[in-house]
Amino acid sequence: MYMKKNFFYAAALAMGLTFSMTACSNEDTPTEPTDAANIDYTSENATSWNNYMKAVVTLLRKDASDLYGYWATSYKGGESYAVTFKNHGAPFNSAGSCVQQVIDGCVDIANEVGETKIGDPYSKYQAGKVTEALYAVESWYSWHSREDYSNNIVSICNAFCGVRSEALISGAAIDKTQVAAQSLYAVLVSNGQQELADNTLSAIKNAYDKILAIPQPFRNHINSEQSLAAQEACSELSVLLKDEVKPACDALSEAVLSPVVKNYVDVVVLPTYSDLKDRVATLYDKVNALAANPTNQAFKDACDAWITAREPWEKSEAFLFGPVADQGLDPNMDSWPLDQAAIVNILNSGDYSQMEWSGDYSEDSEAISAAQNVRGFHTLEFLLFKDGQARTVD
- Asked if 241 contacts 180 with a C-beta cutoff of 8 angstroms, the reply is no
322-348 pLDDT, tens digit per residue, is 999 999 999 999 998 888 889 999 999
Task: List the chain domain ranges.
Answer: 33-390
d(C-alpha 263, C-alpha 162), whole Å: 6
What does the DSSP assignment read for 319-363?
Answer: G--THHHHTTHHHHHHEES--HHHHHHHHHH--GGGG---SS--T
Most confident of 16-20, 26-30, 32-36, 286-290: 286-290
The pLDDT tens digits of the residues spanning 132-180 come to 999 899 998 999 999 999 999 999 999 999 999 999 999 999 999 999 9
CATH class of 33-390: mainly alpha
pTM: 0.91
**What does the pLDDT look like over 104-121, one tens digit per residue?**
999 999 999 999 999 999
Q: What is the chain's mean pLDDT, rounded?
A: 91
- Tell me what the mean pLDDT of segment 115-134 comes to: 96
CA 95 vs CA 17, 22, 158, 339: distances in Å: 50, 51, 18, 41
Cα separation, 107 vs 117, in Å, equals: 14
Rg (CA), the chain: 21
